[in-house]
Amino acid sequence: MKRLSIKMKVTIWYTGLIILMLGFVFTFIWLFAGQAVTYQAEKQVKKAVIESMEDISFQDRHFKRDDDFEFYEDGVSILIYNGNGTLLEGSLPSGFNDEEAVFAHDRIRTIVSKQTEWMVYDYQLNHDGQNVWMRGVMAIDPFAKTMNIIFLIVLVSIPILVLLAGFGGYWITKKAFKPIEEMNRAVNEIKDGKDLSKRIRLSGAKDEIHGLAETFNGMFERLEASFEIEKQFTADASHELRTPTSVIISHAEYALTQLDKPAEVKEALQTILRQSTKMSELINQLLQLARANQENVSITYETFDISELAEIVAEEMREIGEESDISIETDIEPNLKAEADQTLMMRLLMNLMMNGIAYNQENGFVKIKLYEENNQIIGEVSDNGIGIEKKEQEKIWERFYRVDSARTSTRNGNTGLGLSMAKWIVDMHHGTITVNSQLGKGSLFQFRIPKRRNE
């Protein structure tokens, strides 16, 4: 069975509720209006009889009517009978047969005579053994008519109200759900066309559903951005790998044709070795980044002496620096304890210092400073090297981004991944990393990480 739409469910529910409520209200009115009308009629007949009685007096065993006695008062016919039930005064309303109405003292009742309902009230007067009956009669026809009118109103208004409630409810819910339908269509379009650049555009007033659409749009934006980055990454990675691969293949092929010339072969092998080393470095970094990109990558927190670690890294760098006459300076506050991932911290320091050495000039220096401030470990790696242009400073954190491949082409293994790795490490430790650099003067990289986890 096809499931009912929410629109239909809401409409059915409200229409049902309206029917039920109207049913209750009208039954209530019907019952109480009927009673009220009967009560009103009873009061009217009784009042007419009692008021007429005041206009009667007895003289010498005869009753006497005052001058203002009226036989028809307020819709009620007043009849006077003697003790035997013979009509003495007053005229029977047409259609009322008094033989059908047996006398009953002070009792109001309804009598049906010739298909008309009559309200009858009798009162017996006694004077010196003489009996006189006063009777008030009123057709309750007009009341029945009123009731019929009410009934008619109910009969006509219920369906109209129910239809109104049904259509109104359906219309309002349809309008309310329109943005959801639009949203559904938009999301389906995005899904079917696999086009993440599409967005949900809603018309009409701003309401909660617009808020939801905006949230979705925000999500699509982020998805699109991360897909873009992913696409770019794959394209860049394959491009980066293709170049050394084709160099290796062409040199290997060339070497095979030159087997009788050891010098040529040697040169080819050296090129192959260089390219393979570069590729190996690239693959290593790619693997690390791929692992880093996994959502639930776990970092191993431990408390260690980060000052000692920085000293060790600096020592190692000193050897590398020596090759290109670059001196390493340290300004490391001793015994700084940090709760962090030791391996990643080492990688961070190494990446920054290696860059300091690589992008330096002859007789330059690289300085590492480490201190503590406000429960944060602050590390600064500065150099007086070639510096980075302002407009490039934002991009250097991107994967594979190299400022100018010409100025780094002499170096092996510059993959453009070092700083993106550094940034990832700092992010993982809920820290920040910034660069301050001037072209031709040097650079200062500063990172801050909380001293303890969750701080």
Contact residues toward ligand ADP (CB under 6 A) are 355-356, 359, 383, 385-388, 396, 401-403, 408, 414-420, 443
C-beta of 142 vs 440, nearer to ligand ADP? 440
Strand order in 442-450's β-sheet?
A: 327-332, 365-373, 376-383, 442-450, 432-438
Residue 76: name the closest of 55, 96, 56, 102 by CA. 96
C-beta of 173 vs 414, nearer to ligand ADP? 414
Measured CA distances, 330 to 189, 199, 368, 441 (Å):
59, 53, 5, 19
C-beta of 98 vs 240, nearer to ligand ADP? 240
Task: Give the nearest distance from C-beta 336 to ligand ADP in angstroms.
Answer: 23
Task: Provide CB contacts within 8 A for 163, sequence distance 6+.
Answer: none
C-beta of 124 vs 408, nearer to ligand ADP? 408
C-alpha angle 223-226-228 in degrees, rounded to nearest 5 = 105
Instruction: Determine which helix (DSSP H) or strand (DSSP E) holds 22, and give its type and residue range.
Output: helix 6-54
C-beta of 403 vs 433, nearer to ligand ADP? 403
**Contact between 336 and 377 (Cβ < 8 Å):** yes
**Residue whose C-beta lies closest to ligand ADP:** 418
Task: Give the nearest distance from C-beta 388 to ligand ADP in angstroms.
Answer: 5
3-state SS record for 91-128: CCCCCCCHHHCCCCECEEEEEEECCEEEEEEEEEEEEC
Task: Give the nearest distance from C-beta 371 to ligand ADP in angstroms.
Answer: 20
Pairing, β 365-373 against β 337-340? unpaired
Instruction: Determine which helix (DSSP H) or strand (DSSP E) holds 55, and give its type and residue range.
Output: none
Task: Give the nearest distance from C-beta 273 to ligand ADP in angstroms.
Answer: 20
Task: Give the nearest distance from C-beta 364 to ligand ADP in angstroms.
Answer: 10
**Contact between 122 and 104 (Cβ < 8 Å):** yes
C-beta of 113 vs 415, nearer to ligand ADP? 415
Task: Provide CB contacts within 8 A for 315, sequence distance 6+.
Answer: none
Task: Give the nearest distance from C-beta 381 to ligand ADP in angstroms.
Answer: 7
C-beta of 106 vs 394, nearer to ligand ADP? 394
Task: Give the nearest distance from C-beta 321 to ligand ADP in angstroms.
Answer: 13
